[in-house]
Amino acid sequence: MKFIDLQSQFAAYEADIRAGMDEVLRSSQFILGPKGAELERGLASYVGVRHAFGCSSGTDALLLALMAHGVGPGDEIITTPFTFIATAEVVALAGATPVFVDIEPLTYNIDPRKVEEVLTKKTRGIIAVSLYGQCADIEALLKIASEYGLFLVEDGCQSFGATRNGTRSCGFPHVGTTSFFPSKPLGCYGDGGMVFTSDDRIADRIAGLRNHGQWERYRHRAIGINGRLDEIQAAVLLAKFPHFPAEVERRAEAGAYYSKALGDVVTVPAIVPGNTHVYAQYSIRTPRRDELAAHLNENGIPTAVHYPIPLHRQEAFSGLGYGEGDFPVASAVSREILSLPMSAFLSRKDQDEVIRQVRRFFGG
């Protein structure tokens, strides 16, 4: 059994993927060409924003969002300690300081009620992560952002395709970012990402910053990065994207099927009213997490832990001065969380086997 079944997906779309890649090979246009532009138009319209920029990764998409807002030394950016390292890594890379706020116990997303406690004169913005594929409490965060003159970035690297009160993830003010890392809900065959915004001024900044600070060839008005998406990856994404809405539905079905079958033995994902979930990860909670993972792995079922060590306890961030006891919700969840096999191509047979083995572990 595969944790994420990319092989079946490739088999299903192989002809289109190969045709798109061949076109790029024949055109010999590999960077900033027509495929990337077509993808940007298509995904901007899907998300419901005016501008989208293909990036070299989800990490660079986040970095560009910060650079476009002029984030630098002396600035503080508020985010969650319960996420992939990239969310806070880019804050440090931009020269600023990540300031962590604990998560909500039900959604595992940043708790807006705790954001005001850490605001200082140096606070410039908030990065909300829509973890596992469910949007964070964007309205509450936007309210704080507008009250204190901050910007909001949604790290939608796991939530592309999800909606919140009718708006698609990455479509909220001020900037949304996503990742096309192969295992993400919409994945390419290497690294890739995208920034989304309807703010024309920020869009113009990102357009040049992702291309070495060039708005005109060989005139560098700012220090930028090599942050572009390549045409081969854009071709893969263009071939996959027409199937994406159906995949999002299929993932939601698979998630609901797990939750119905397992809700009495483990804590299953809670979906907040108004949200839809894309289950980039289908993650359950149990105090017996390590034993359950061992049982599943012994029975041929792959699992993963997202994430075993919250960011405030990572060596890379030891300089921030946080203690073991900070962020008790994030720490508790990191000890109990376990992701089960999930993808749009997860078969009912395999899913039934996962369910059977989880239930067997708990004696029923």
Nearer to ligand PLP, 55 or 358 (CB): 55
Nearer to ligand PLP, 103 or 358 (CB): 103
Smallest gap, in angstroms, from Cβ of residue 210 to ligand PLP?
A: 14
Nearer to ligand PLP, 193 or 255 (CB): 193
Smallest gap, in angstroms, from Cβ of residue 15 to ligand PLP?
A: 26
Smallest gap, in angstroms, from Cβ of residue 192 to ligand PLP?
A: 7
CA–CA distance, 126 with 100 (Å, rounded to integer): 10
Nearer to ligand PLP, 87 or 123 (CB): 87
Question: Taking CA 358 as the corner, what is the angle to CA 357 and CA 362, rounded to the nearest 5 degrees?
Answer: 110
Nearer to ligand PLP, 93 or 265 (CB): 93
Q: If phi over 0 gives left and psi between -120 and 50 gives alpha, with beta otherwise, what is residue 138?
A: alpha
Q: If phi over 0 gives left and psi between -120 and 50 gives alpha, with beta otherwise, what is residue 52?
A: beta
Smallest gap, in angstroms, from Cβ of residue 41 to ligand PLP?
A: 21
Cis omega before residue 174 (within 30°)? Answer: yes
Nearer to ligand PLP, 232 or 292 (CB): 232
Nearer to ligand PLP, 69 or 292 (CB): 69
Which residues are CB-neighbours of 111 under 8 A, at least 6 positions away?
A: 101, 102, 103, 104, 329
Nearer to ligand PLP, 157 or 252 (CB): 157
Phi/psi for 340 (5° steps) reads -100, 165
Nearer to ligand PLP, 59 or 331 (CB): 59
263-299 core/surface letters (b: 16 or more CB in 10 A; e: else): eebbbbbebbeebbbbbbbbbbbbeebeebbebbeee
Identity of residue 230: D
CA 31 to chain centre: 24
Smallest gap, in angstroms, from Cβ of residue 86 to ligand PLP?
A: 4
Helices (H), the chain: 6-27, 34-47, 58-68, 86-93, 138-148, 200-209, 231-240, 244-262, 289-298, 328-336, 348-361
**Contact between 88 and 71 (Cβ < 8 Å):** no
Q: Position of tokens 């507008």?
A: 146
Q: Position of tokens 């508020």?
A: 78
Under the rule (CB under 6 A), what is the footprint of ligand PLP? 57-59, 83-84, 86-87, 129, 155, 157-158, 179, 181, 191, 193
Q: Is 61 helix (H, G, I), strand (E, B) or coil?
A: helix
Smallest gap, in angstroms, from Cβ of residue 12 to ligand PLP?
A: 23
Smallest gap, in angstroms, from Cβ of residue 342 to ligand PLP?
A: 14
Closest residue to ligand PLP, based on beta-carbon distance: 58
Smallest gap, in angstroms, from Cβ of residue 356 to ligand PLP?
A: 29
- For residue 104, give the DSSP letter: P
Smallest gap, in angstroms, from Cβ of residue 299 to ligand PLP?
A: 28
* Token code pair at residue 75: 């600035």
